[in-house]
Amino acid sequence: MAIFRLPCATGTAASYAIGRGLGLHANPHGAIVFCISDTYVTTEAEIWSRAIRPEIGDLSTEAAREWLRLRLSEADAERVRELSSKANAGTLTADEDRELEQYLNVGRALEFLKAKARLSLRDAA
* CA–CA separation, 2 and 23 (whole Å): 12
* CA–CA separation, 36 and 20 (whole Å): 11
Residue 56 is given by DSSP the state -
Domain ranges across the chain:
2-124
Whole-prediction pTM value?
0.64
pLDDT in tens, the chain (125 residues): 333 334 433 333 333 333 333 344 444 444 444 444 456 788 888 899 999 999 999 999 999 999 999 999 999 999 999 999 999 999 999 999 999 999 999 999 999 999 999 999 999 98
Do 83 and 92 contact (CB within 8 A), yes or no? yes
Note the pLDDT of residue 38: 54
CB < 8 Å & 24+ apart, contacts of 29-38: 30/54, 30/55, 32/6, 32/108
